[in-house]
Amino acid sequence: MIRPEETLNALPSDTLICQGDPLLLQVHMPGAFEWSTGETGNAIAIREAGFYSALIHNECGEFYYSIQVEEDVCACDPFIPNVFSPNNDGINDYLPAFLHCDFPYRAIRFQIFSRWGELLYTDDSGQVQHIRWDGTFRGIPLETGVYLWTFEYEYDRHGKTRKEIRSGTVTLVR
């Protein structure tokens, strides 16, 4: 029998799963399976972190496979600074948008509104790196104040496209 300290590489090396997502652990070998979860097939679907192992009995002997699975929170979250100062000093003169996403994504629309709901700025280029509001409306610098932003984006996860709309405020300081 192969002892645990002599584990073979039939499973991937220690790995991460995204919180709530399934991961299929599979050993391609004939035989009778005994997984640490109590399951007896050659594959198991897991949804949480932990140590998983399989003992396989066949005509060639006994084989032991194991994997340590860690869990991570995979996300697709926008970050919009909450203050910027478009005063042409070269520091924070534009309001950018950032999208930290663990999956393929696309920006759809970023908009800025006045506190009365008037649309002041729109970027629908589809490129996060193009979003840069300069604190103007129709070429005229706006006053110091709080403005509302909305950010619509989509991302692909497990073959499904998901659409999100987030909103928040930004303070423009002159």
Same domain, residue pair 82 and 168: yes
- pLDDT tens column, 70-101: 888 777 889 999 999 999 999 999 999 998 88
Neighbours of 14 (CB within 10 A): 11
Give CA–CA dist 42/65, Å, rounded.
11
The CATH code of the domain that includes 36 is 2.60.40.10
Residue ranges making up the domain that contains 46 = 4-72
Q: Are residues 96 and 153 in the same domain?
A: yes
Q: How far apart are CA 106 and CA 101, in angstroms?
A: 10
Q: Using CA atoms, how far apart are residues 156 and 102, in angstroms rounded to an integer?
A: 10
Residue 63 and residue 90 in one domain: no
Residue 123's pLDDT band (cuts 50, 70, 90): very high
What was the pLDDT predicted at 14?
73
Q: CA torsion sign, 51 to 52 to 57 to 58? A: negative
pTM of the full predicted structure? 0.64
- Please identify which residue in the block is written with the tokens 């996403």: 101
pLDDT (mean) for 131-154 = 96
How far is residue 55's CA from residue 59's CA, in Å, rounded to a whole number? 13
- Do 111 and 135 belong together in one domain? yes
Residue 133 has pLDDT above 60, yes or no: yes
pLDDT tens per residue, range 11-59: 667 787 887 788 889 888 899 999 999 999 999 999 889 999 999 999 9
The number of domains in the chain is 2
More confident residue, 114 or 76: 114
Tell me: do 86 and 165 sit in the same domain.
yes
Does 86 lie in the same domain as 56?
no
* Dihedral angle, C-alpha 59, 62, 65, 66, nearest 10 °: 150
Helix (H, G, I), strand (E, B) or coil at 26: strand
Query: From CA 14, how far away is CA 50, in angstroms rounded?
Result: 10
